[in-house]
Amino acid sequence: MKLHQFLLFFFLYFNYLQAQKANIHDKSYEINQFIKKGDSLNKLPDHDAALNTYQMGLAMALDNNSHAQAAILYKKIGVYYHKKQQYSIAEINYRRGLKRDSISTVAGDLYFNISLIKKAVGQNDSIMPYLETSLGLFNNHEINKGACNAYLSAGINYKERQLYEKALKYLIKSYKGFQIFNNKKKLADVCSIIGNVQNHLKNYNQALYYYQKALKYQKETNHMQGLGRTYVNIANTSDNLKKYDSAIFYYKRGLKFLESKNKSKATAMYNLADTYLTIGETKLAENYFKGSIRLSKTLTDTISFLYGYNGLINLYLKEGSFKRAEMYLDSLSPLAQLVSDKVVTLNYYENQSEFYNKIKNYKGAYEYQLHYNNLYKEIYNKEQAEVIQNLEIQFDNTNKENEILKLTLTNKNNELRLVEKNRDIENKNRLLIILVFVVVSLIVLYYALRQKQKGIAQHLKIEKLEAIYNGQEIIKKRIARDLHDIITTNFDGLRLKILALKRSKHINSSIDTITKDLKNVNQQIRVVSHRLYPLEIQVGKQKFTDIIKSRLSEFQLYGNVYVELEVPLPKELDTTSLIIQNNFYGILLEVLNNIEKHSHATKLTLNSFIENKRMHFIFLDNGIGIEQNSKEGIGILNIKQRCEILEGSCSIKKVESGTEVYVNFPLKKPCND
């Protein structure tokens, strides 16, 4: 290549790059205009038109490979569906946004919004992973409104888990952020929650300080219900400090601001009555107890009016009005031992024991004192267990924070190395530019070598990206497979049990069973999060074949599908590896799930045999059958994936009597990938 040809080529290539940059800039500007127009339509409000605008902008961003703008638009589209409570569609859009951007504050918003969805649908164990990822991203950037909301949510969630130190840490960060944006309504909310945390920690004077600050912001924003609640919080704290006159004053102030038909008002009336009883103002205490009971009955709030009954009984016992106390005890008796709030039952036992003691029925007093002592121990033991559990969670969180800190330091070091390398590259480029003007012949040689090096570097980069992508896909497939097994099948089982309540003769027992199953589901999800196998806990307690039989019996009972085992299950299943058991169990659950959801079957026949050191299983239902050209769902794909893991094969086909699923795999333990 001659010199003038090379210079011409270089000039044309440079102009081409500049034109490409200008084109990208123009497209980026158009996408930003779509975003601004959509935001304006949202303010009108014309949400449907805004959605259409966002979708047009998203299409352009995807065509232009504008990942940052695409992530913003996915977030805005997700928010549209989020507000309409179409949570699954909203979450899909949030996750698509994260595929385009996983490191910016937009990614922080996306993770935070997913945590809100998990809370809305009741998946409480899934809230914190997404929320903590969001916090990690916001901590690495300048504070914005999204970060403030995430910090506030973290404070609330940590408070609910009794991790008060972490709650205060993020609530203070939220408070400082909302101060920057002068959001007085949010500042009032944050101050109230900090006051509640300090109250739990028995730091009553600090609690009063934050309640007073909340009161100031609520007055400035004219938030009447907030004023009422805050006055009541101040009153409760004053009562804890034994400042009864102040407590009475603030209770009365709070009652003026609370709505007439409101649970908070009934609670405030009860607390005011209790304060009057403490200082000996029994007539006023009686009036407010009765007022609380009347309001609680209007609101059909059983727990609150039972608290009121206990308060009145305690008052009448102190006054010596035993007949009136007995009347309320008799009214309370049928309900007190059935309510979920054990404190109501505990107070009832205490009042009943005191009543019998007052009328000198010492045997009755002794019996109810025993009931009181036993229930008190039960509540105390439960509280102790919760304290221990919270300490364990706090310890785990501390370890996680230490790991995150180590990773952050590693990333910082890598960034510094990258900066140094970039500087070296820049210096080399400057030197090469000078050499271009000195020796033309060397420029041509350098250009050829440079292109070759770039090709090698690009090839290596692509290989690395492919390796990372493949690794992520493997992890996602495994997690998707296990979560699908656990969540879909277990929650379907629970749904069937809840439907069965209508025909159950022992509702309380069924409710206990459902509660126990919910705990088991939570445990299984926790097992998956630590990369353990779902069957590991169960297999240690019973045979694997018994587990299968139990699941089939449960399916028959709650799914109204008769299950027939043509031959006993092979005993060899009990001695196979946990990998085989776990994957076969997953296949079984998917088959049962598909029958229950799609087949409309009334009978399932299971046949099994061993031949040539391979296990063979045939599931045959009498349902409507599967269409041969129907699209494969995640359940069928899961069955096939698990068969591949077991180095086996499967076939799913429609037969005259319904659907036949045939699975076979070797008895040996497959190699781990």
Q: Is the pLDDT of residue 329 over 80?
A: yes
290 assigned to some structural domain: yes
Per-residue pLDDT at 522: 63
Domain presence at residue 212: no
| Residue with the two structure tokens 């896909």 | 473
Percentage of residues in the chain having pLDDT higher than 70 = 81
> What pLDDT, on the 0 to 100 scale, is given for residue 17?
46
pLDDT of residue 181: 93
| Residue 22: both structure tokens together | 């200008």
463 part of a folded domain: yes
Instruction: Tell how strand 603-611 and strand 562-565 pair up.
Output: parallel
Q: What is the mean pLDDT of residues 482-490?
A: 68
Residue 63 pLDDT > 60: yes
Min mean pLDDT across 337-341, 421-425, 641-645 is at: 421-425
Which of 500, 532, 564 is the last residue in one of the domains?
A: 532
Please write the tens of the pLDDT for every residue from 146-191: 999 999 999 999 999 999 999 999 999 999 999 999 999 999 999 9
Q: Which residue has the higher pLDDT, 483 or 153?
A: 153
- State the DSSP H helix or E strand holding residue 403, giving kind and residue range, or none if neither: helix 362-438
Q: Backbone phi, then psi, for 256, in 5-degree steps?
A: -70, -30
pLDDT score of 423: 76
Residues 267 and 387 in one domain: yes
- Tell me the C-alpha distance between 62 and 483, whole Å: 30
Lowest mean pLDDT among 76-90, 465-479, 496-510: 465-479
In sign, the C-alpha dihedral spanning 436, 441, 445, 448 is: positive
CA distances from 538 to 580, 583, 592 (A): 15, 14, 19
Provide the mean pLDDT of the chain.
Answer: 83
pLDDT at 557: 85
Q: Evaluate the CA torsion angle 525, 526, 532, 537 in order and state its sign.
A: negative
Q: Considering only residues 51 and 521, tell me which one the structure prediction assigns the higher pLDDT.
A: 51
Q: How does pLDDT run across 284-295, given as a tens digit for each residue?
A: 999 999 999 999
Tell me if 409 is assigned to some domain: no
Domain check: are 291 and 379 in the same one?
yes
Against a cut of 0.85, is the pTM above it? no
Residue 385 sits in the same domain as residue 477 = no
Tell me what pLDDT residue 381 has. Answer: 74
Q: For 363-405, what is each residue's pLDDT tens digit?
A: 988 999 998 999 888 887 765 655 555 555 555 655 565 565 5
Q: Residue 382's pLDDT is what?
A: 63
Residue 493 pLDDT: 76
For 628-653, what is the mean pLDDT? 83
Residue 304 resides in a domain: yes
Residue 565's contacts (CB-CB under 8 Å, 6 or more residues apart) are 552, 606
Q: How far is CA 69 from CA 38, 61, 101, 105, 135, in A?
A: 13, 6, 9, 12, 22
What six digits make up the tokens of 589?
């659950």
Confidence of residue 471 (pLDDT cuts 50, 70, 90): very low
pLDDT at 41: 93
| End-of-domain residue from the set 363, 397, 431 | 397
Closest CA to 618 of 594, 646, 653: 653
**Residue 385 sits in the same domain as residue 265:** yes
Inside any domain, residue 99: no
In terms of domains, do 650 and 551 share one? yes
- Tell whether the model's pLDDT for residue 19 goes beyond 60: no
Q: Which residue has the higher pLDDT, 547 or 471?
A: 547
User: How many structural domains comprise the chain?
Assistant: 3
Task: State whether 550 and 625 are in the same domain.
Answer: yes
Residue 322's SS3 state is helix
**Domain presence at residue 166:** no
Averaged pLDDT for residues 312-317? 92
Q: What is the pLDDT of residue 388?
A: 55
Instruction: Please give the residue range of the domain that contains residue 327.
Output: 259-397
Q: Quick: pLDDT tens for 335-371.
A: 887 888 888 888 989 999 999 999 999 998 899 999 8
- Which pLDDT band holds residue 39 (cuts at 50, 70, 90)? very high
Helices (H) then strands (E): counts for the chain: 25, 5
Task: Output the pLDDT for position 469.
Answer: 44
pLDDT at 472: 42
539-551: per-residue pLDDT in tens?
677 888 999 998 8
What confidence category does residue 97 fall into, taking pLDDT thresholds of 50, 70 and 90?
A: very high
Is the domain of 525 the same as that of 560? no
Q: Could you tell me how many residues make up the chain? A: 673
Last residue of a domain, one of 480, 509, 532: 532
Q: Which of 206-220, 339-353, 495-509, 606-620 has the weakest average pLDDT? A: 495-509
Note whether 557 and 522 are same-domain residues: no
Question: Which position has the higher pLDDT, 511 or 70?
Answer: 70
Residue 5 pLDDT greater than 80, yes or no: no
Domain shared by 500 and 565, yes or no = no
**Which pLDDT band holds residue 412 (cuts at 50, 70, 90)?**
low
For 194-252, give the DSSP string: HHHHHHHTT-HHHHHHHHHHHHHHHHHHT-HHHHHHHHHHHHHHHHHTT-HHHHHHHHH
- Find the CATH number of the domain harbouring 326: 1.25.40.10
Are residues 543 and 511 both part of a single domain?
no
Residues 486 and 564 in one domain: no
> Is residue 646 one of the residues assigned to a domain?
yes
Please indicate, yes or no, whether residues 297 and 378 belong to a single structural domain of this protein.
yes
Cα pseudo-dihedral 339, 342, 346, 347, rounded to 10:
-70
